[in-house]
Each structure stands twice: as structure tokens, then as C-alpha cells.
Amino acid sequence: MFRCRRIVTGATIVALTIGTAVVSAAPARASICSAVGFHGGDVGSTGSSGSSQIGLGSADFGSYRAGGKKPQRPLAKLRGASTAVEWVTGPRSPNRTDQRFSITATDVGVPWDNGSGQVLMAFGDTWGQCAGQMVWRHNTMLRSDGAANLAKGITFPDAIPGSTRSGASVTPQHPTFSQPMINAVGVRNIEVGKIPTGGIAIDGVQYMSYMSIRRWLSPGRWATGYSAIAVSRDNGQTWVTDNGTIRANLDLTVPGVRQVAAGHDRFQMGAFLRAGDFVYQYGTPSGRFGAAFVARVRPSDILRLDRYQYYRGGGSWSPVPADAVPIVGQPVSEMSVAYNDFLKRFVMLTEQGGTIMMRTAPGPAGPWTGPKVIVPAAQAKGLYAPYIHPRSTGQNLYFVASRWDDYNVMLIRTDLAKVR
């Protein structure tokens, strides 16, 4: 359902899209595979990309076109402090996600502890077979074994229809087709996709931040319409966007409307960290070329934008989003932050030009060190989206990263003793 709230202030009328978007178009027919609506296999894929311009039509469906990519290649052979452990997704993964979950190609793989023995992983645009055809989803999620030995890789139990603890949310009609978490309109300049950027569990409830992509631009650049938090109370089986958490990507403040405020553009991509009495949300503008910012909120207020505090530098915080100052200068891409017991410092991973970099800080807001290269681009061309695994706390730092050419997610281990 699409709804629009109209806000009037003086002579200015601001149309704020709530949920997804308002579209004047014929309703999409139901998917033969997807329980949450249409996907690329139903309506045809023109393709689009955060790294290239493929489809130029009015409808864009996905950042990956199955016929336009190479088959999944062997793992990267890394040298120095980092080692590629295994493919997490794809036909070459020991998990065989192509057969077990209809995930042949995907990216992102944001991991977080669900608070009850599992690590959930939210993926972005996803391709896989269903009902005899290659189909595409805006996003999907798998549940991994939280007690798995990361030195041997990440493992997923089989999917079972109706089971909130099995490897994926599936239907009885398609028991090996991992369902999308949330749907999107799929129309350029309105919304071409919803991509997860962070996740956290609080008191048994799952919270996932995502960005709504309005259109893809040049390599590494895209425009978002807004970011928001989706909520699941059944361990990721179903998700609902909390409309009060929408951060409209507008250089505009409407008094009394917390979703429209200057500074929200700095939090279009977000990563969560729980430390002490607060949940910290790290934000960047859309694309991979902005600076990084941080806000904090009490865990019980995570859905209350009016309760967030924004770091304004010098150890002080402000309730005004526009007061947020950069904690890391541009360019910053997708990021993740975690506390590391071995270093006894907070660790931040980002990517620039295919190089994975690490920064550390004594506190969640910094000050952050300069970047240290842990995976050079020359060793694994096309890596991006480095996300620290929540069970990684010691000398070996485990994180997932996506590789563009074969469009899948791998697990990497870095020996922190070699990069201190």
C-alpha cells in the first residue's frame, strides 16, 4: 500500500512519501515466487547498477543482470595480514546458496547478532532460480549458526517453511526460494530498490536500516529518496517499515515533522553499534564519496527520531541533525563498526576504490585514526561493503565483503597483530 502525507507550512506544500512511494501506474501482478510482491522475473529486468549504467528505461529492476556477469570465480588469493576464508554465497560456496535458497548472486550481507544464538545476514539485490526462471529480488536474508567456527566459514541451516529459526524465510510453494524482506516500487526516479545497510537486535526485536534508491548515477554514486528502519518481531521472517524513522533526503526542515529535517541526508546509509547505554548509528550520504557522521540513542528509543543525539565535536551532542560534524572525512563508503577485545579499541571498516581499510578509536565517536590498508585493491579487484562479523572480537578480525565482477559475498580474516 502506498500512502502520502501532505504537510502545509505557509505557502509551501511538501509531499513526504511514507512506506515506499506514490506511483501513477498499473498495479503490479503478484509474483509466482515472492510473497511480498513482484520482482524482476515477473516484469522483466532492464538492470541498473551502483557501479555502471546498464538500463536506461523508466523501470529499473536490480543492480545485477544475470546475463551480463561472469560466472563466480575462485576466492581471491590474498597476501599479508588478510586471508579469504570462503565464499559465503553462490555456487562456489560450501553453503550452495544457489540450490538451497535460490541465491546465485547477491551482495552486501550485513551481519548482526539476533540475541538468541544466530547471526542474521541481510543481502542486497539478489538473483536466483525459481519456477524454472532466473528471478531477482530487491533484498533477502539468511540466518546463520552463531556458534559456527568462523575459521571454517559461515554456515546456514536448511530453510523450513514457517520456521523462524531455519536458514531462510520460505513458503511451502517454493521451499528453496528465500523471500524478500521488503519490496520496492521498481521505477526510476521514484524507487528502484531498497538495500539494507545495518542491523541490530534489541530485546528480541530485529531492527534493520535500509536505503531507498531513487536512481543510480555514475560509478559509486546513487541518489536515495530516504532511509528508514524496518522492524521484525519474528526473527526476520517478516518486516515492516516504521514510518516514523524515515529520514527524507531533502535539504529542508519542516517544523514538527521529524522525518523532514536538514541533516538527514548525512544518514542515508547507516551502521549500528551498541556500546554502554546507547545504540550508535553511523551515517553517510548516499553513494561512496561522502563523510561519516554518528548519532546515538537509548536502545528503547531506537524508533524515535526526536530522541536521537548527533555528535557535534568536542565531546558534545545535539538533538539537531544538521549539527552533526564529520567523524571521518570523505570519501567513506559502506561501513561497519565494532569493539575489538584484542586491540581494546573500536574498529571501523570502509572501502575506497576496491581497497578495504581499517580505522580505530578509543570511543564510538572517535577520534579515529587514519586508514590502514588490510586488503589492497590489487589483490582482489572489485571488493566493497566490508561488514564486521558480530562474533569476531579477538586477534583475527572476520568480516564479509562483496566482489563486484562475480557478484557474491566472501568471508575474510585479518590478523590484527600484523596491522597494529
Look up the CATH number of the domain holding residue 280. Answer: 2.115.10.20
- For residues 39 and 138, the answer to whether their CB atoms sit within 8 Å is yes
pLDDT tens digits, one per residue of 258-281: 999 999 999 999 899 999 999 999
Where residue 56 falls among pLDDT bands split at 50, 70, 90? Answer: very low
Q: How far apart are CA 109 and CA 90, in angstroms?
A: 12
Burial degree of 326 (CB within 10 A; 0-12, 13-18, 19+): middle
The residue among 158 and 16 whose pLDDT is bigger is 158
Is 70 exceeded by the pLDDT of residue 354?
yes
**Minimum mean pLDDT range among 18-27, 188-197, 221-230:** 18-27
Strand partners, 383: 403
- pLDDT (0 to 100) of residue 133: 87
Domain total of the chain: 1
- pLDDT (0 to 100) of residue 48: 36
Q: How far apart are CA 270 and CA 274, in angstroms?
A: 13
Beta-carbon contacts of residue 296 (< 8 Å; ≥ 6 apart): 278, 279, 280, 281, 308, 309, 311, 317, 364
**pTM assigned to the model:** 0.89
Give residue 195's domain range. 3-418
- Average pLDDT of the residues of the chain: 87
